[in-house]
Amino acid sequence: MITCVVEYVVDPAKLEAFEEFGRRWIALVNEHGGTHHGYFLPSEGASDKAMALFSFPSLAAYEQYRTLFGVHPDFIAADKFRDETGCVIRYDRSFMRPVLG
């Protein structure tokens, strides 16, 4: 299993748009072979930091999912929504492997 950790810098004035962006990507990950663990939005502390975590059974499965970027209409629409709303200022993606009980 591989878990993708995405750390976002978001526009605090556009958190509603970011939540909608997150809901779209949760559905896409879950529909295309992954398990989305959710988006985590600012509560206490920094008001411009958010995070998402989702897993795929393997790096190969994640790479298969990535082939849909820029070609699948729902993926294109989700990215367009992000760009048009300006809710995401920047993001950084890391890959982790979980240690489970």
- Tell me, yes or no, whether 59 lies in a domain: yes
Please give the pLDDT value at position 64.
Answer: 95
DSSP secondary structure, 66-91, as one string: HTTTTTSHHHHHHHHHHHHHT-EEEE
- Domain holding 80: CATH number? 3.30.70.100
Residue 18 pLDDT = 97
Decide if 28 is inside a domain.
Answer: yes
Q: How many domains does the chain have?
A: 1
Alpha-carbon dihedral sign for residues 74, 93, 23, 17: negative
Number of other CB atoms surrounding residue 79 within 10 Å: 16
Q: Where in the sequence is the domain holding 80, given as residue range(s)? A: 2-96
The pLDDT of residue 46 is 81
**Which residue numbers in the chain have pLDDT < 50?**
none
Packing angle, helices 73-85 and 15-31, rounded to 10: 170
Residue 24 lies in a domain: yes
Residue 101 lies in a domain: no
Q: State the pLDDT at residue 89.
A: 97
Quick check: is 56 in a domain?
yes
